[in-house]
Amino acid sequence: MGASLDLAVSTVILALLPGTAAGCGDETLQLHLPLVRRTREPFDGRWALPGGWVTPDERLSSAARRTLAETTGLRPSYLEQLYTFGAPHRSPTGRVVSVVYTALVRAPEAAAVEVGENVRWAPADRLPDTVGELAFDHAEIVDYALWRLRTKVGYAAIAQHFLAEVFTLAELRGVHEAVLGKSLDPANFRRSVAASGAVEATDEVRAGAAHRPARLYRAVLPPGGATGGYPPWQSRPELG
| Chain contacts with a copy of itself (rule: CB under 8 A) | 1-8, 53-60, 81, 83-88, 90, 95-97, 99, 140, 143-144, 147, 231-233, 239-240
Binding positions for DNA, 172-231, rule CB under 7 A:
185-188, 190-192, 195, 205, 207-215
Q: Which is nearer to a copy of itself, 85 or 167 (CB)?
A: 85
Stretch of 41-49, 61-69, 163-171, 221-229 contacting DNA, by CB under 7 A = 163-171
Choice between 126 and 191, CB closer to DNA: 191
Whether the link from the prior residue into 42 is cis, omega within 30° of 0, is: yes
Instruction: Report the nearest approach of a copy of itself to the CB of residue 236 (Å).
Output: 11
The entry of a copy of itself, DNA, none near residue 212 (CB within 5 to 8 angstroms by kind) is DNA
Please tell me what DSSP assigns to residue 53.
E
Tell me the longest C-alpha to C-alpha distance in the chain.
68
Q: Where are the alpha helices (DSSP H) in 52-168?
A: 60-72, 107-111, 127-131, 138-152
From the list a copy of itself, DNA, none, partner contacted by residue 24 (C-beta under 5 to 8 A by kind): none
Say how far apart CA 165 and CA 160 lie, in whole Å.
8
Phi, psi (5° rounding) for residue 159?
-60, -30
Size of interface with DNA, in residues (CB under 7 A)? 21
**Residue 81 touches which of a copy of itself, DNA, none (Cβ within 5-8 Å per kind):** a copy of itself
Please calculate the CA angle 185-15-160 and round it to the nearest 5 degrees. 50
Contact partner, 55, from DNA, a copy of itself, none, Cβ < 5-8 Å per class: a copy of itself
Rounded CA separation 137/83 (Å): 13
CA dihedral 62, 152, 107, 48 (to 10 degrees): 60
Residues lying near DNA in the complex (CB under 7 A) are found at 168-170, 185-188, 190-192, 195, 205, 207-215
